[in-house]
Structure 1
Amino acid sequence: MTGAIVLPSTAPALFEATAAAMPDRPAAAMGDTTLTYAELNAQANLLARRLIEHHAGPERLVATVMPRSIEFVIAVLAVHKAGAAYVPVNPDYPQARRQQILDDASPHCVLSLPGQEVAGAPLALSVEQQPHRSAPNPADHDRPGALLPDHPAYVIYTSGSTGRPKGVLVTHRGIPNLAADYVRRQRLQPDSRLLAFASPSFDASVAEFWPIWLAGGCLVLAPAADLVPGEPLARLVREQSITHVTLPPSALAPLEEAGGLPAGLTLLVAGEACPAPVAKRWAGDRVMINAYGPTETTVAVTASEPLTGDGTPPIGRPITGVCTHVLDDRLQAVPDGDVGELYVSGPGLARGYLNRPAQTAQRFLPDPFGTPGHRMYRTGDRVRARPDGQLVFVGRADDQLKVRGHRIEPGEVEAALFEADGVAQAVAVEHDNRLVAYVVATAGAPVTAEHLLAQLRERLPAYLVPDVVVALPRLPTSPNGKIDRAALPDPEDAERATSGRAPNTPTEIHLATLFAEVLGVSSIGVEDSFFEVGGHSLLATRLVARIRESLHVRLRVQAFFKAPTVAQLAKVLDGSPT
C-alpha cells in the first residue's frame, strides 16, 4: 500500500512560509508567554545566525540539553535554520546517560538554558529570548552550505540492544509529508491549539511541532508536572482550551478518573497498541485516531481514519509519502488477512543509525519493490490487513518491548542490571504494560529491590527503570538451555520483600490497603516507597483519585510525589509534619 507524496522541502521552509502568511497568529505559548509566528521566527533567526557564526550547518549536529520550554522551540527552529540537525537530550536523564549520548553524537555545539550550561562541551551556547530584535531568514548563501531535503534534521536516541543508546538520524525529506497528512487527518486550522505532550527527547514531538505550524495554529507547552496523566493533565487541557492532543492509550485511564477530556477534542493515540475497550470508551464524542510508526521513520507510517469504537482498532493505512509491505520470512507478500512482518519504504525513512553502519545494514534493506537504490525498513512488528485495506497490529516479531508508549530493548535494561552490585543473572520483560526485572543474586550477596532500583536510577532514564523487581533463586530455562521467558512467574504472585513496621493508625491502615490494591500486591510496608515496589506516574494518579474519593480529602498528585510512603502520606493527611 502506498500513500500520496508531497513535494520535498525542509522544515524551516515550512515554518517560514506560515510566518510570512500569518505573522500575527500565535505560534507557541507557555504559561503567560505567547509568541506570534513573526516573533518566534525572529527569535529563531537571531539564534540561527549565532550558530552559523560558529560554523553550524548541514551535516553537523547541535545538541539541545533543554526541558520543554519556549526556548527549546526557538532552539529547534534555529538549528534547522542554520542547516544543522538537533539532538535532543533530556536534562532530567542521569548524568551517565546524558554523557553517553553526547559522547556518541559528538555534537558541534551544545545549547542549554542560561545557568544550565553543559560542562565539558566543546562549544556551548545559552538560549534566551531577545525581545524587540529581529533578523532576516538565513539563506543558503549565509550557511556553510545549501540546506537540502536529504540533509539530517534530527537525531533521536533510542534504547540499544548492546546496552548503549543508539541514535536514529532522520532527514528533512519526510517532514513535509508527515505535516501535510496530519493537517488533513486531524483537521488542523489556524485556531487550533495543540498540546506538546511528548518529551522533546522522543520523536513524537516532531509530529506535534510541524503539523500545527503548517496549519498556522498554536503549539501549547507546559512543565512536565502539568502533563501527568490524571488531574494535572485534564485541568491543563481545559484551562488552555486544547483542541488537539496525542497520548499513549495507557494515559487515558487516569484521565477518565479525573473527569475525562472535553467532547469534540481531537485525540490521536500512538506509541503502544490501543485496546478495543479504550477505543470504545473514548471514540464516541471526540475524533479519535490511532497512529503507528517506529523511530526509524519520520514519526508515523500509518494512521487510521477516525475510530468508531467497534472491534480492534486498526493502525490504518500508509500516511502521505509512505509505502507499506506485509511480508513473510522470504520477503514475499502474504495474502490479505494473513499475519506477516511490516516493512516500510518512502522518503520518511531515516538515513540509519548514527555511526553504526552494521546495525543500519541489518534493519534498512534494499527494497525489492522499488527502484534501484531505494530501501525499506524492517519494523519487527507483525500485522495483518483487513478486508478494507487497513492494517491491524498483532505483536512484535522479536523480543523488543513496548511499555507505556516507550520502545525498550530489554538488553539495555539487562546490561544495567548486570552492572549493579550483587546481580548474577537478570532478565527484563513486559507484564501488563509494566517493565518487570527478574534477578538472581550472586552467592552471599542478597539483592533488595530498593537498593537495585537506586543504582539503576543513576544509570538509566526513568522509562528504562523497571517498575517491579522480582528476586528468584534461579531463572527458568528451556530444554536448549535458554531462558524461558514464558515460564517466569507472575510478578503479583512472586514474593516481594517489604520493609518497616505494619500500619498502626486508622489512616495508615486505610492507605496501606489502597496502596496494595492499586499496586496489585497482597501487602505493603508503611515505609515502602510507592515507586520502589512497582508504582509509576500513571498508577500514582489512580491511587490519588482513590484516596480523595474514599477519605474525602484534597490531595494533589504533586504532594503525593513528595510523600510516596504510607507513613509519610498519613502524616500529610493527618496534618502532621513529614
Structure 2
Amino acid sequence: MTGQTGQPPGVLAGAVRPLDAHSIVELIRRQSRRRPDATALVHGDRRWSYAELWRWSAALADTLAEAGVGPGDRVLLWADRTPATVAAALAVMALRAAYVPLDPAFPVQRVRAVVEAADPVLLLHDSAAATITPPEVRVPAVDLAGLPGNGPAPRERELPEPTDPAYVIFTSGSTGTPKGVVIEHGSLANYVQWCGAVTGLAAGAGSPLFGSLGFDHAITSLWPALAHGSRLTLFAGVWDQQALFEGLEQPYELLKVTPSHLRFFERTARPDYRRTTRLLMFGGEALDPALIAGIGERLDGVRMMNHYGPTEATVGCCHLEFDPAAVQGLPSVPIGRPIWNTRAYLVDDRLRPARPGEAAELVIAGAGVAAGYLGRPGAGNNFLDEAELGGPSGRAYRTGDRVELLADGTLLYLGRGDSQFKVSGYRIELGELRRHTLAVPGVSDVAFDVLPGAVESLEALLVLAPGADGSAEQEQGAVRAVRAALSAALPAALVPRRMKVVPELVFNTNGKCDLAATRAAAGR
C-alpha cells in the first residue's frame, strides 16, 4: 500500500491550499459588501438579501452582547429552519461564541441532557416558526421573533479567530450520554471553502436546507451557499417534497442527501434530478451502487459526489466525484480521497501503518479535526497527536471506520470496527442504546441490528429477566416499555422500528452476538 507522491506508505493527503478567510463570518460579511442586493435566504414567498441578512445578524449580535454573550460562550439554538434561526447562528458566531443546535424533534430527555452538558448562557428560539415550543431550561430563553430584524449600519466587530469555537453538535455517547463535538472556525472555514470550490457554488440557485440542524449533515447545505454568495432555500422538512422539487426557477447548484433520503424520495416522489440539481452529493451512510443504477436516466448529466466524514472531522473529510457506471460491482461507492489540508492514515489496531491489501482503521488529521469533546479533555476519546502516526504535531482522530485502499488510490468504506451504528445518517453508540434499554425493568439483555429498506431502521432483540412467564402479554408489555423509554430519550430515527423478545442471545467463538443464530434460535 502506497500513499500519494511524497507521502509515506499508508498515508493519503489532500491538496494543501491557503484559505481566503478564517471564518464564515468574514466570508458572509464579504458577500454583504460585494453583492448587497443579491438574494441570500428564501423562505416561502419571502426573500432576504445579503445586506438584510448581515444587518439582521448584526442587530441580533448587539442584543446578545448586551445580554452578556461573549467569546467562548455557548448559546442554545432551537433549530427550526427559519431565516431568524440562520441570522441568530451567524450572530452568535460573530460574537466569537458557539451556537449549539437543538432539533425541535428531540425528546425532552435528550434536550435536557444536551443542556446540562453544554452549560449554555442563553436559549434562542423563533416563536414565529409555529412548531414545538422549547421546554423550560435553566437559562434565559430569548424569542427571536421579538427582537429587531434590522438596524443601523452594522457595528464593526473583531472577527473570530481560527481557534474560536463556531458550533457544538452533540452526538451519541458510548457511555450512554450525548457528547458535544467542538468545531472551531478554522476547521469550518476550511470545509466551507473546499466545498464551494469543488461543488461550484457561486451566485445562483445555491442549495435547499431541509435536514435537521441538530446533525452536521445539514452544515453542507447551510453555510457553503451563504459563504459563496448563493441562495439558501429553507424548507419545513424532508416531507415538503412538492416545494423542494417542483416549480424551481432553475436547478439547485448542490443537493446534499443521505442514501436513506434518496430511497425515501424514490418511494414517494421519484423526482427528475436533471431538473432539480446540478450536483447530487451523498453523505452520512454507505452508498449502494445499485441505488444509483435504479434511478436510471433521471440522473443523466447530474454530477455525483460521495462524501464521507464523522462529526469530529467537521462534516466531511473525504470525497469522490464518480461515474455511476464505473462503480457498479463494488460493495459500495468509494469514499475517495482527503479534502483540502487533510490527511488520512490507514493503520492497524496498534496505530502502525497497515500492510498492503489489508483492511485498516481510518485516522483523520489536519485542518478539519475538531477541538475535542466538550468537557471531556484527555485520552480515551479517540483524539490523538498526529505525531504518534509519524506526521507533524497536531490533532488527529481515530474514526473507528474500516477502509481499504483501492488500486486507483481511493478509499473504500468497509464498515465499523466498533459498536457504533449509522441509521439514516444519524450516529448512535451501542452504549447509549443499551443503557436506556436495560434501564427498563424486566429486560436483562439486548442486541441491535440495522434493517435495510426504503428508509433504514433499527431492530432490537430483547431478552427478558429470569422468571418471565413467556406469555405474549408479558412480551408485548416489555416491547411497549422499551419503546417508550427510547422514544423519551432519542430522536425518532434512532428508536428501533422492530422489537422482538428472544429466549437468549447467541454468541460466536469471538464473543460477539451472532444475530442470525439468535434469530434462528427464536424460530425466526
Q: Which residue, out of 450, 453, 467, partners 2:497?
A: 467
Q: Which residue, out of 434, 442, 447, partners 2:475?
A: 447
Aligned to 2:438: 418
Residue type of the alignment partner of 2:154: P
Aligned to 2:306: 290
- Find out whether 1:5 has 2:17 as its counterpart: yes
- Find out whether 1:120 has 2:137 as its counterpart: yes
Does structure 2 conserve the Cα–Cα contact (< 8 Å) formed by 1:197 and 1:247?
no
Residue type of the alignment partner of 1:464: L
Aligned to 2:458: 435
Q: Give the 3 Å change call, closer, same or farther, for CA 348–137 of structure 1 in structure 2.
A: farther
Does structure 2 conserve the Cα–Cα contact (< 8 Å) formed by 1:45 and 1:138?
no
Distance in 1, Cα, partners of 2:24 & 2:155: 13
Q: Cα deviations across residues 328-367 of structure 1 (Å, max 9, x unaligned)? A: 2232323554321111111211010111124665433443
Q: Give the 3 Å change call, closer, same or farther, for CA 152–166 of structure 1 in structure 2.
A: same
Residue type of the alignment partner of 1:466: P
- Find out whether 1:196 has 2:209 as its counterpart: yes
Give runs of aligned pairs for residues 143-292 of structure 1, distance below 5 A: 147-224=160-237, 227-228=238-239, 232-233=240-241, 235-241=243-249, 242-243=251-252, 244-257=254-267, 258-263=269-274, 265=277, 266-282=279-295, 284-292=300-308
Residue type of the alignment partner of 1:249: P
Structure 1 range deviating more: 11-20 or 131-140: 131-140
Give runs of aligned pairs for residues 34-433 of structure 1, distance below 5 A: 34-114=47-127, 116=133, 118-128=135-145, 130-140=148-158, 147-224=160-237, 227-228=238-239, 232-233=240-241, 235-241=243-249, 242-243=251-252, 244-257=254-267, 258-263=269-274, 265=277, 266-282=279-295, 284-311=300-327, 312=330, 313-334=333-354, 337-358=357-378, 361-369=381-389, 373-432=393-452, 433=456
Give runs of aligned pairs for residues 483-502 of structure 1, distance below 5 A: 483-485=513-515, 487-489=517-519
Taking only aligned residues, the RMSD between alpha carbons, in angstroms, comes to 2.4
**Normalization by structure 1: what TM-score?**
0.79
Q: Give the 3 Å change call, closer, same or farther, for CA 190–210 of structure 1 in structure 2.
A: same
Aligned to 1:506: none
Q: Which is bigger in relative contact order (C-alpha 8 A, separation at least 6)?
A: 2
Q: Please say which structure displays the higher CA radius of gyration.
A: 1
Aligned-residue offset at 1:372: 5.4
- Find out whether 1:15 has 2:28 as its counterpart: yes
Residue type of the alignment partner of 1:202: F
Aligned-residue offset at 1:180: 1.8
Q: Cα deviations across residues 268-318 of structure 1 (Å, max 9, x unaligned)? A: 010000011123345543111100000001110011124333223221111
Identical residues among aligned pairs (%)? 32
Aligned-residue offset at 1:461: 1.6
Aligned-residue offset at 1:260: 2.4
Corresponding residue pairs, total: 484
Residue type of the alignment partner of 1:455: A
Aligned to 2:7: none
Residue type of the alignment partner of 2:475: V
Does structure 2 conserve the Cα–Cα contact (< 8 Å) formed by 1:44 and 1:78?
yes
Does structure 2 conserve the Cα–Cα contact (< 8 Å) formed by 1:279 and 1:307?
no
Residue type of the alignment partner of 1:67: D
Does structure 2 conserve the Cα–Cα contact (< 8 Å) formed by 1:352 and 1:364?
no
SS at match of 1:9: coil
5+ unaligned residues in a row in structure 1: which ranges? 141-145, 496-578
Aligned-residue offset at 1:105: 0.7
Does structure 2 conserve the Cα–Cα contact (< 8 Å) formed by 1:290 and 1:304?
yes
